[in-house]
Amino acid sequence: MPQRIKWKGRKKFKGKIDKLPKAVGMAVRAAMEEMAEEMVAAMKRLVPVDTGKLRDSINWCWGAPPRSAKIIDTVKGPKGKDDGIDNNRITIFAGDEEAYYAAWVEFGTQAAVKGGRVADHRKGTGSHTRKSYRTHPGAAAQPFFWPTWRAQRKALRSKMNRHINAAIKQIARAA
């Protein structure tokens, strides 16, 4: 014969459980925004400044990057309902129409001697090399984007976990 169990506080418990997804989502969003701001600030500190256009082009946004962005990476939060902001995806980017050279600064450029052969990766050229039309000493890489990303990605995960745990504890403490 089955026994009945009386559960006191069931409605209160269910109410707290129902509040969790929204609270955790808001906590994740706050952590992601905070980390994106920190990452952008760190990248802006590392980028070499000549005119300041490249430094000013480093930014972040929710969802897809602007079409003019040159170096891009995304940070995705936990999967959840689509709430119109691309499922908790933050995009950090550098470069725009004015700072089109972002990748050249990040990765450097190859030296070339006039008349010599240089690598050509353009589509439709039919060749892997092309003739150089001018002498260029090349430019050394001055990375600012990926070193910052690599240095801070573990901190991003831990900050998100701390924000999630704080949101859960806050709901658990609420009367």
Torsion-angle region of 115 (φ positive above 0: left; ψ -120 to 50: alpha; else: beta): left
The number of beta carbons lying within 10 Å of the beta carbon of residue 64 is: 12
* Percentage of residues of the chain with pLDDT beyond 90: 15
Q: Is the pLDDT of residue 121 over 50?
A: yes
Mean pLDDT of all residues in 134-140: 82
**pTM tops 0.75, yes or no:** no
The 10s digit of each residue's pLDDT in 103-116 is 889 888 888 787 77
The 10s digit of each residue's pLDDT in 53-100 is 999 999 998 888 888 887 777 777 666 554 544 467 888 899 888 888
Q: Report pLDDT for 122.
A: 66
Closest C-alpha to 157, from 44, 63, 41, 77: 77
The residues spanned by each domain of the chain are: 10-173
* Percentage of residues of the chain with pLDDT beyond 70: 89
